[in-house]
Amino acid sequence: MLIQSWSTDIYVSFFAGYSSFLPGIFAKFFKKPHLIILGGTDCCSFPSLNYGNFNKKLLGWFTGLSLKSATHFAPVDLSLVESENVYVKEASSKQGYKIFCPQAKAPFTVINIGYDYEKFYCSKPKIKNSFLTIAQMNWPNYSRKGIDLFFEMAKRFPLCTFTLVGHKSEMKFENTPSNISLVEFIPYEKLCDVYSEHEFYMQLSIMEGFPSAPCEAMLCECIPIVSNVAALPEIAGDTGFILDKKNEALLEQLIHKALKSEKEMLRKKARQRIIDKYPKDLREKLVQLIDSL
């Protein structure tokens, strides 16, 4: 960084934390702008899950220093600035970088992530009454990503199929339902076919920023079933189903409703929603912001 800084015009960090600390120091020293793209974990704290930068003392300290010294922020969703999480009960339902670091005074520009509809499309016939979720599996993510709900719904809907991508063999589950397929790593370029085979995509996270998997799945004509968290309700819109509270009975009702819905119509609407609201051209906004700084 010391060598490169002499010819650098701007520092850009994706997520605030340990990795954004030194760019912030160098930016101050060389009097250069420092843009931090805020992605999610750097704007939250969930003590019950031991999740979020501000739930960890040292990481929270480094995150706060980075935020206080930044020139500009580019959160991937407005909820990362300041919002209230009503999906789960926590000691603090208020989330966002302004909640945990009110000294961060730099301006912000929300830049959603954009997606390539030519790369993601429905490439295979759908398996009837099939549900998919993708998560990098570890025990904290088992709850944070809503995998606990995913397993429970597999038990309650034995005639449907459920696929979890991102499983790790060292994670052992007790009484895994026979209608759940646990799939380990899949190369990114093959995800399109996996999305395409499923009718529904479930993202039941307790915390997200702007997750890509449901957007890519919707481009592949999956009907979204999502939690009422961060960008997820806006991503799904009226093309899918939104779980207002983390509650198994409510989710069961929602799935019954989804199975009886006009699936063909919703599939087409889901794809068109991502094409209209989150095209890959949105990425140009980041280029324009960097140019302006």
What pLDDT was estimated at residue 174?
Answer: 82
Residues of the chain with pLDDT under 50: none
Nearest to 122 by CA among 186, 183, 187, 194: 194
What pLDDT was estimated at residue 48?
Answer: 83
What pLDDT was estimated at residue 45?
Answer: 93
Looking at the fold, whether 108 and 167 belong to one and the same domain comes out as no
CA distances from 5 to 18, 27, 37, 231 (A): 19, 8, 20, 35
Looking at the fold, whether 137 and 271 belong to one and the same domain comes out as yes
**127 class by beta-carbon count within 10 Å (0-12 exposed, 13-18 middle, 19+ buried):** middle
Nearest to 44 by CA among 86, 70, 6, 81: 81
119 occurs within a structural domain: no
Looking at the fold, whether 135 and 267 belong to one and the same domain comes out as yes
Looking at the fold, whether 153 and 272 belong to one and the same domain comes out as yes
Instruction: Give exposure, 235-246, as e/b (b: 16+ Cβ within 10 Å).
Output: bbbebbbbbeeb
Domain extent at residue 251 = 127-277
What pLDDT was estimated at residue 137?
Answer: 87
122 occurs within a structural domain: no
> Residue 34 has what DSSP assignment?
E
221 occurs within a structural domain: yes
Looking at the fold, whether 135 and 248 belong to one and the same domain comes out as yes
What pLDDT was estimated at residue 90?
Answer: 65
Structure tokens at 266: 């919703």
Q: What is the CATH number of the domain that holds 166?
A: 3.40.50.2000
Q: Are 67 and 101 in contact (CB under 8 A)?
A: yes
> Residue 126 has what DSSP assignment?
P
Q: What is the pLDDT of residues 247-266, one digit of tens each?
A: 999 999 999 999 999 999 99
CA distance 122 to 138: 29
What pLDDT was estimated at residue 49?
Answer: 85
Looking at the fold, whether 149 and 268 belong to one and the same domain comes out as yes
Locus of tokens 């799939």: 183
3-state secondary structure of 113: coil
Looking at the fold, whether 221 and 160 belong to one and the same domain comes out as yes
CA distance 51 to 34: 26
Number of other residues whose CB lies within 10 A of the CB of residue 256: 12
Q: What is the pLDDT of residues 11-24, one digit of tens each?
A: 999 999 999 999 99
Looking at the fold, whether 140 and 85 belong to one and the same domain comes out as no
Q: What is the pTM of this model?
A: 0.94
Long-range CB contacts for residues 265-268, cutoff 8 Å, separation at least 24: 266/223, 266/239, 266/240, 267/122, 267/126, 267/199, 267/221, 267/222, 267/223, 268/221
How many distinct structural domains can be found in the chain? 2
Looking at the fold, whether 191 and 83 belong to one and the same domain comes out as no
